[in-house]
């Protein structure tokens, strides 16, 4: 009986600690999702307390909305390039600062000054996205005073009378934003991959070197397989970031909530906010939110399943 009473007391103690966090999670996380899903089937304007049920009309309108379809295409492009470029660069730099140096008496080691490189590469992470928008806004300025245009003018590549308008050129604007995201993210994932590499015994790298493996072979046959779990998780997080992009697009590009020029940098989040706050089509915006949530969940599941491998023990 004492064991039964003790078990009940322990269960009650655990339940007492779980009830409050669970209630908060349901109230502030799950319930807004449920509300958004419900509003997506209405013509709610966001201000009026009254609205009508319109069924799937909002979702049907989305399929015909050229601006939203263009924004979806931009998100998909970012979804491909942001994770791939960021992870490849972070893996390369992490390998160099941990195992890319010359082997000496101390065994496998990073390149000279690797500790400082970690700090330098991680530095962009201490900057908020708002600061990044201001910083790269100055770099991409559409006159000779912009850092990029000034550099190209000095090289004689760009005519000083006709500098490149990086954030107003339809063919350049999305790639300029992509560069900012990659520049901001590489340092964080370099540190993440470096921490994972430091858990790998140096004996494995030394054995590979004794067998005659070069740096490229060591990277692809030793480092990458052992870090696959970290790479998989990073791909999911970067994919989610690519599906957002609201802060950078809305602050760096022209137009109401960004998206310019002529919707060439539009992403789903900017279209959603414009419809919700500017056009007063809140029910329609909620439908966009449901689509974004669905695509993000599908992305996460597909990425985890497509990159699933057998765990390598060492």
- The token pair at 157 is 């590549």
Query: Are the beta carbons of 206 and 108 closer than 8 angstroms?
Result: yes
Tell me which residue range forms the domain holding 136. Answer: 57-306
For 50-96, write each residue's pLDDT tens digit: 889 999 999 999 999 999 999 999 999 999 999 999 999 999 888 88
The number of residues making up the chain comes to 314
Residues 6+ apart with CB under 8 A from 163: 142, 143, 144, 146, 149, 152, 153
What is the reported pLDDT for 38? Answer: 94
234 falls within a domain:
yes
CA of 18: how far to CAs of 12, 22, 28, 31, 91, in Å? Answer: 10, 6, 16, 18, 39
Q: Rounded mean pLDDT of the chain? A: 85
For the record, the structure tokens of 205 come out as 């790298």
Q: What is the pTM of this model?
A: 0.86
What is the C-alpha to C-alpha distance for residues 104 and 112, in angstroms, rounded to an integer? 12
> Given a cut of 70, is residue 7 above it in pLDDT?
no
Report in angstroms the alpha-carbon separations of 179 from 82, 104, 232.
9, 37, 22
Q: Which residue has the higher pLDDT, 1 or 164?
A: 164
Q: What's the number of CA atoms in the CB half-sphere (13 Å) around residue 282?
A: 15
- The tokens for 3 are 């064991």
Which of 116-120, 141-145, 245-249 is predicted most confidently?
245-249
Residue 96 is encoded by which pair of tokens? 């160099």
Backbone angles phi, psi at 251, to 5 degrees: -100, -25
User: Is residue 40 a part of any domain in this protein?
Assistant: no
What number is the average pLDDT over the span 178-184?
Answer: 94
Task: Give a yes or no: residue 124 inside a domain.
Answer: yes
Please answer whether residues 67 and 78 qualify as being in contact, where contact means their C-beta atoms are separated by less than 8 angstroms.
no
Residue 52 lies in a domain: no
Other Cβ atoms less than 10 A from the Cβ of 137: the count is: 16
Residue whose token pair is 């962009």: 124
Query: Is position 43 within any domain?
Result: no
pLDDT at 144: 78
DSSP structure class, residue 313: P
3-state helix, strand, coil in the chain (%, to 5): 70, 0, 30
CA angle 142, 143, 147 (to 5 degrees): 85
Over residues 220-234, the pLDDT tens digits come to 777 788 888 889 889
Asked if 269 contacts 249 with a C-beta cutoff of 8 angstroms, the reply is yes
Give the pair of three-digit tokens for residue 37: 């899903």
Got the DSSP string for 138-189? HHT-SSTTSHHHHHHHHHTSS-TTS---GGG-TTTHHHHHHHHHHHHHHHHH
Mind listing the pLDDT tens digit for each residue in 285-299? 999 999 999 999 998
The domain that contains 109 carries what CATH number?
A: 1.10.3720.10
Residue 50 domain flag:
no
Q: Is residue 314 included in any domain, yes or no? A: no
> Could you tell me if residue 34 is inside a domain?
no
Q: Say how many domains are in the chain.
A: 1
Which is more confident, 265 or 305? 265
């Amino acid at each position: 009986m004492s064991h039964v009473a003790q078990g009940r007391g322990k269960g009650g103690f655990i339940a007492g600690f779980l009830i409050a966090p669970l209630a908060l999670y349901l109230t502030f996380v799950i319930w807004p999702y449920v509300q958004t899903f419900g509003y997506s089937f209405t013509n709610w304007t966001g201000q009026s307390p009254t609205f009508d049920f319109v069924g799937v009309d909002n979702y049907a309108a989305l399929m015909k909305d050229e601006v939203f379809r263009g924004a979806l295409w931009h998100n998909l492009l970012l979804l491909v390039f942001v994770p791939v470029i960021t992870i490849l660069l972070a893996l390369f730099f992490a390998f160099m600062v941990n195992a890319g140096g010359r082997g000496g008496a101390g065994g496998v080691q990073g390149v000279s000054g690797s500790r400082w490189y970690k700090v330098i590469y991680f530095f962009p992470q201490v900057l908020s996205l708002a600061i990044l928008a201001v910083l790269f806004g100055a770099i991409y300025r559409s006159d000779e005073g912009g850092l990029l245009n000034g550099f190209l003018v000095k090289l004689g590549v760009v005519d000083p009378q006709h500098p490149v308008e990086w954030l107003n050129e339809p063919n350049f604007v999305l790639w300029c934003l992509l560069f900012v995201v990659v520049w901001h993210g590489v340092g964080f994932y370099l540190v993440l991959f470096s921490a994972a590499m430091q858990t790998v015994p140096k004996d494995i790298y030394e054995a590979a070197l004794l067998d005659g493996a070069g740096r490229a072979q060591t990277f692809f046959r030793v480092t990458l397989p052992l870090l696959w779990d970290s790479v998989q998780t990073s791909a999911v997080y970067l994919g989610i970031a690519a599906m957002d992009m609201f802060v950078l697009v809305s602050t760096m590009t022209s137009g109401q909530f960004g998206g310019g020029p002529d919707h060439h940098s539009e992403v789903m989040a900017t279209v959603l906010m414009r419809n919700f706050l500017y056009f007063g089509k809140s029910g329609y915006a909620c439908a966009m939110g449901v689509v974004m949530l669905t695509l993000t969940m599908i992305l996460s599941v597909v990425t985890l399943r497509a990159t699933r491998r057998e765990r390598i023990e060492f």
